[in-house]
Chains A and B, each alone.
Chain A
């Protein structure tokens, strides 16, 4: 399933893309065409959509599968002068298999006083909320499930649901460490989601739309051309200040160093996930990694030109994954090198620092864009 249909494929390498990278045809429709399902009316459309979602979901889950048991260990080991997994398979890659068997075959221990439906639902909420976000992300190479007009708002909204899962996990576990972790998670998410969204809004002012496909294509325009090489107007280059703000707020949002206070292994054992074992633990862990990747996907989409990159547009997905992994790599780098801030300092940085800066950024952006227009 290639080809001619993909917009921008005709663009010559190194020349500024003549056409936006935005996919004119979304993945479910293309699948419907290819499999002939579109001939079956609404039922066929639904099936094609489900199939497309299945592909995207599994792509993301596979990435977290690689990231969790293997890449994370290897990256941290490189930072800390170690070797990490190297017994199973090339570079220890088969540890992914061994780890999944190990984790899934463990006993699921449920605390006696756990608040049952909430305790069971929490891991699912945490994991699924992140997966939902990927539905509107344009990943290039024609992989784009849906492109609603409120795309950006939708992404923030569904990833925000995770906070609910964390509170449920923290409260329902009937463990004081979990409770502390849950409370910290909420305090942190509220404090950092606002700067995150406000900074996102400054991009909306630039692009003039919430639709992620449009935001990506807006970034394909050349910013300036030096010696024949054109530099695209990625918003990270247009407004580096907003990029940094967003990056910091995002690290807090996904709960990674220096903002990993909700888990804080040395303080509150493992925070909200203290009482989770086996499959539930895997789900929560998956959810966390999915959130890192979703954060990466949002950053890639609104700041780094989405799937844009040198080479034919068919390589879009490759560039997109590289960008996501770059963000993941940054989280692991910080984890190895930066101390954790205290919970009160974290809240202070959020409300007194980031929030103010993000509003300043928003107002400035609005003024500048207004003047230029």
Chain B
């Protein structure tokens, strides 16, 4: 009769060895079947376009989607090729990406972080998207970027302007072509000084969320550095629609400039209210009262109508640029859709192209190979002049446009005019100033 000597430690040891034995073949099989998440195995590759299709930014999302559809058409060899003709890299051949036909799925971010994460997750897990791109909000961008990092896919951000996206919340799998709050402040300040002088008193109204804070900080720092004084900075709720109670006390404060750190509906309403109060007709401290909108969007300018006339702001790109890349993109987009593209459409189109080009140059869809190809990549011909995808924070560095609301627009699209193209050297900063860690690339699987 044998005696079984069962001990707790013995059972655990045996279980661990048996578990490793059973699991080992699976791990090796999994590695050999897919080296990274959603490795394309057939004749096509799926990209996930995560844009706001409902909610307050639905129009901006629709323009982003138009741009992505145009990019897919060009990548697959359709249309006139768009920016592929002017892009300094010639890796793309119009035969899809690495010979695989480009297909896409779309998700609706609703401009809500949780909804955006859910739609991105669904595109990755159910539809097999190998890359996620798009969006019209920094909150959404940061949330989806973190998800893509965990899932092991590349995230090519859409319209997101907060410093945090490639600052404290940056991720190794995430990349941003759009500019940020710091760059807006750095580009705007000298223009404001030239036009309004260095002895000014500024009053900030700031949307009470992440993007608002970084924009206020950037504009304050830049304008104070050239001599302006900030007399007050008031946070306004994101849900605010009538800003009269915030605007009425501005003149009492002795301020002679109002800076509206607002975007979207907030910007349309606060600017409309400020103009209604006749602020721009007033003379304060023996100077004309002025309004500044740090981040302009043509779609938002359209909402504010004639109120934008003469008001300075910054933008990532504008359809009236006359470089070959911009002209090619406006021609492709305008011919297909009948109106010029917005800056949101431009950045999304460029991000899709940059991703495809990076895959071709890397010779792989592996996110880590793609990230390596994008890091430190210098390119031109995409509408913003010579551009660098900085390796340290995955932020694009390029010239920044300072624009002004046009006095005599010829159409509903002709609302902004370019005042200055601020050179990239003036808006470049040290990658460490916003903190955060890129971490290491995650291929997933």
A is bound by B: no
Residues of A within 8 A of B (CB): none
